Structure 1
C-alpha cells in the first residue's frame, strides 16, 4: 500500500512538471515571437554582418565608383587658347592641332620626353604598334613577337614638311630575338650619362619577364637621326615585377614604379615569383622550412595566367592600394640592389622628380590623382656633399608623404613643362607646371584595349601649379578652370585650395577636323603623356602660349600650337 501511494504521487508530480514546462514554452512563444527559432538568430546575424561588409564600403565610395563611369558632354576636341579675348589678334592665335606621322609603326605611344642638349629641340617617344596584341598591364597577352620602337621628333625645325614627321631610332647591339615593348623611359643629359651619349633607361615588358633596358642614345657621326646603343639589362624582383614609369637620377641610380601586386604576366617562378613573394611575406629573399613551402605553393598559383588575370583585374577595378616605388642602384660588378621607398599606392603609374630633387610626385591612377612626397636627404657627409643637386636623392634618402591631390580622371603619366611657365622660381615646382594626362572614362579605355580599331576612349590633360594665395575661395570668386567645356573642379572627389588645376586639352577621342582651314583630321584618344614647350625664350616672335603634344596609348601623337596654360 505505501509503495502504491508513492508511485501515484511521483506520477502526479511528473504530470505537473510536464504541464508547467509546456505552459512556459507556449507563453514565451506568444509574447516573444522574434526569438523563434532561437537557433536561427546567429545565422541571421552573420548574414546581416556579411551583407554590411559588402554594401557599406560601396555606399561610402559611391562617388569613386561613379567617377569610373566617366563624364558626359566631353567635347570632340578642345584646347586651351592663349587668350579668352575676342580680338582679331586673339582669334588669329587660336590653337591649331595636327597629327604627327611616322609610318605604320608610329602608333600606340606611351611616353615622350625632351632629349636634353639636342641641337634641334627634339623629343623621344616610346610606341608599341603591337600593344593590341601584347599588353601586360591591361591585356591581351597574345603575341609578344612583334616589337615596339623608339622615335624622335624635331618639333623646332622650320621646314613645314619635316615638322610633322617622326623618325624611328635604330637599336644597336640589342639582340634581334629579344622582345621590345617599351613603356616609360627616362633620359640623362650628355654630361650625366657617363659616356659620349645620353644614358637612356627604358621599361620593357617582355614575353617571360619585365626588365629595364639601358642604352646610350647617340647621333651617328656626320649623319642625321638617332641610335640607341644597348648597354645592359636590369632585372630585380622588387624593381621589375610590374614596372611602369621610371626616372633616372644618375647613370647608376633610378626610381621606378610598380603598378600592381598581382601581375597579369608574372615572371618565372624560381627566379622571380619565389624571391618576390618571400620578400613580400617575410621581408627576405631567402626563406626555409614551412615558409619556403608556402612561398613555392603561392608562386605556382599566382603564375597561372588565368588566376593572374582575374586578380590583376580585381586590383585595378577595386582600386586596391598595392602599388609601390622602388629605388635601384647599379653596382660596379654589374648587379643591382633595390629597396621599396614608397608603398600602398593604388596603381602606381607615372612619376616625376622636381629639379631640386626635393619633391617626388607619383600618379596614383585609381585614387585618382597624384601623391607628393618630400625627399628627406641623408645626413651630409664628405661622400654625399660631392653629389650634384639632382643627386641629393641618394640610396639613403627617405620619402615622407605630404600631399594627396585628387584629379578629375585616372592619371597615367606625369611631366613638367620643358621650361618654366612663370617667373616664380621659388615655388615647389621652380616655376614649372606639372602636366598630368590620363583617362576620364576607364571602362571605355578597357573596351578600346580589346578592340582599338573600332572603339575609342576620351582624353584629358591638365596643368597643376601651386596656388600663390593658398586660401579658400571667396564669394563671387570664379574657378580657374571655368573656360573648359568640362571644368576640372566639377569632377574632383575633393578640393585642395593650395593647388590650381587648369585643363589644357579635352577630347572624346573621336576624329575631328583641325588645322588653319580644317585640313587635318585629328584623333586624340586614350591620352597617356603630354609635353609642353612654352614660347617664352624660344624664337617664336614673342608669342604667348606654347606647343602642346599629347600621345595616345592606343593612338599616335598630336601636336597643338598656340596653347595656353
Structure 2
C-alpha cells in the first residue's frame, strides 16, 4: 500500500513538473523546420577574416564602441574550455577581442584582432560577456574572463589611433570577488557600476565527481539557482561592493538595461523566457516574463526593441558542443511594447508600456547552415546595422540591416 502511494506521488510530481515546464521543453527539445536563412528583409551577410587559420570565430558576444565600430569576444578554444556548459579540459590557447569597422569611410577591409596592451601574455584569456561603460571621455571595455584559476572581469581602456584610425585596448585592472563564481553577461550602469548575471550555483570548477553531474542536473531540472548582481568598482582599487539584485533565476544568462533606464531584462535560458524588472537604481521589482520559442542567450536593447538571440534545438546544440557536428540552429527575436509612447515626450517608460502588452517578432532564423548557434544580437542604431554572433560558429559573425 505504501509503495503504491509512493508511486502516485512520484508520478504526480513528474506530471506537474512536465506541465509547468511544457513551454521550455517544446522550445528546447522539439526540432524546428527552419530555412537556411530568414532575416525579415535585413539582408544579412557573413563578416569573416579571410586569413587562413583565422581565430575570428566562436564569438559569444559583441558591443558597439562608437558608431561604425563594434568589438567581439571570440574564443576558438571553446570546445575544450567552457565553464558554463563544459568541458574544462584545456585552457590553451587564449581567446581574443576583435574589432570590425563598417562605416562608409572604413579604414580596414575586415575584422582585426585587438592588441591588449600591458595585459600579460601569460594570463589566461577566455572572454565571454563584454560591455562598454557609458563614459564619453574615458570609455572602458569590461570583459568576463574564465581563467583556469577562477573567473574575473578584465578592465581595458579604449584608444583610437589618430594615425591609423584603428582601435586598441590598454589593460587597467582585474576585478574579482569571492561571490563572483559563475559570471555570464554584463551590462553597464555607469562608469563605476555594472549588472552581472551568474548562471549557475554549481559549476564545472567543482572537484570530481561533483562536477560530472551537479552542473548538468541544475540545468536539466531548471533549478532556480542563478542570480543577478549589482557590482560597484573602481578602476584602481577594484570591486567595492557586490549586491544581489535577484536570486532564484534558473540559468540567468543575458542581461540588459533599457535606454530609458526603466527596465532590467534577464534571460532565463532553460525556462525559454525573458524576465522583465522595473529598475530602481539599487533594486529591482519583477513585472512580467515573456516567453520565446528557443533558449535565450544574450540580449540587448536596440531602440524601442529588445533583441533576444538563442538556441532553438538543444540536442543539436549539444552535438556541436561535443564536436559531433558543426551546425546547430539559430534564432533571433525582438520584444517590443505593443503600444508606442502615448505621451510623445518619452514620459511613458518602456517597462510601463511592455507591462500593458508586448509583441514578439522573428528577426533571423537559420537551420545552422548560414549561422550556427546564435548567442547574441546587438544593433548600432546610428549606422542602422545589426550583428548576430554564434557561440560555435566557425565562419565569423552575421551583419544585417536593422529592421524596424
Please, what TM-score do these two structures have when normalized by structure 2? 0.89
The question of whether the paired residues in 1 share the 8 Å contact of 2:81 and 2:88 is answered with yes
Which residue in 1 is equivalent to 2:249? 345
1:127 lines up with 2:127 in the alignment: no
In the TM superposition, residue 443 of structure 1 has moved relative to its aligned partner by: 2.0
Counterpart selection for 1:263 from 182, 199, 203: 203
How big is the shift at 1:155?
A: 1.2
Post-superposition offset of 1:48: 3.1
Cα distance, 1:359–1:96 mapped onto 2, change above 3 Å? closer
User: Superposed, which structure 2 residues align to 1:441-452 within 5 Å?
Assistant: 441-451=313-323
Please say if residues 257 and 301 of structure 2, whose CA atoms lie closer than 8 Å, have aligned partners that are also in contact.
no
- Structure 2 CA distance for aligned equivalents of residues 182 and 559 of structure 1: 19
CA contact (8 A) 2:296 2:308 kept: yes
Residues in 1 aligned to 2:19 and 2:339: alpha-carbon distance in whole angstroms: 36
Report the counterpart of residue 464 of structure 1 in structure 2: 335
Structure number, greater radius of gyration: 1
Q: 1: distance between equivalents of 2:169 and 2:276?
A: 32
Is residue 102–residue 167 contact of structure 1 (8 Å, CA) maintained in 2?
no
* Alpha-carbon distance change, 96 to 110 in structure 1, aligned in 2, over 3 angstroms: closer
Contact 1:440 1:460 in 2 (8 A): yes
> Aligned in 2, Cα 1:533/1:216: closer, same or farther, shift over 3 Å?
closer
Tell me, which stretches of 5 or more residues in structure 1 are unaligned? 1-40, 83-94, 266-302, 377-392, 421-431, 471-494, 511-522, 539-545
Task: Name the counterpart of 1:249.
Answer: 189
Higher fraction of strand: 2
Q: Partner residue of 2:286? A: 401
CA distance in 1, matches of 2:240, 2:356: 42
Higher fraction of helix: 1
RMSD of aligned residue pairs (Cα, Å): 2.4
Secondary structure in structure 1 of the residue aligned to 2:230: strand
Aligned equivalent of 2:306: 434
Give the superposition deviation at 1:252. 2.0
Q: Which residue matches 2:129?
A: 184
The answer to whether the 8 Å contact 2:274/2:289 transfers is: yes
Cα separation, 2, equivalents of 1:185 and 1:311: 27
Partner of 1:564 in structure 2? 403
User: Aligned to 1:554, what secondary structure does the other structure show?
Assistant: coil
Q: Is the 8 A contact 2:294 2:311 kept in 1?
A: yes
- Say if 1:214 and 1:233, in contact at 8 Å, map to a contact too: yes
Shift of 1:224: 3.6
Q: Does 1:98 align with 2:46?
A: yes
The 1:413/1:169 distance shift into structure 2, 3 A limit, reads same
Contact 2:87 2:204 in 1 (8 A): no
- Counterparts of 1:64 and 1:189 in 2: how far apart (Å)? 35
Deviation at 1:398, TM superposition (A): 1.1
> Residue 212 of structure 2: SS of its match in structure 1?
helix
Higher RCO (C-alpha under 8 Å, 6+ residues apart) = 2
Whether 2:228 is the aligned partner of 1:325: answer: yes
Residue 476 of structure 1 corresponds to none
Mapped contact 1:101–1:166 kept (Cα < 8 A): yes
Distance 1:134 1:81, change over 3 A: same
- Tell me the alpha carbon deviations over residues 475-527 of structure 1, each in whole angstroms, 9 at most, x when there is no partner: xxxxxxxxxxxxxxxxxxxx9971111111100002xxxxxxxxxxxx30100
Q: Which residue of 2 aligns with 1:154?
A: 101
Whole-Å separation in 1 of the counterparts to 2:379 and 2:195: 23
**SS in structure 2 opposite 1:463?**
strand
In the alignment, is residue 531 of structure 1 matched against residue 378 of structure 2? yes
Structure 2 residue runs of 5 or longer lacking an equivalent are: 342-353
Alignment of 1:540-559 (within 5 A): 546-555=384-393, 556-559=395-398
Normalising by structure 1, report the TM-score: 0.64
- Residue 310 of structure 1 corresponds to 213
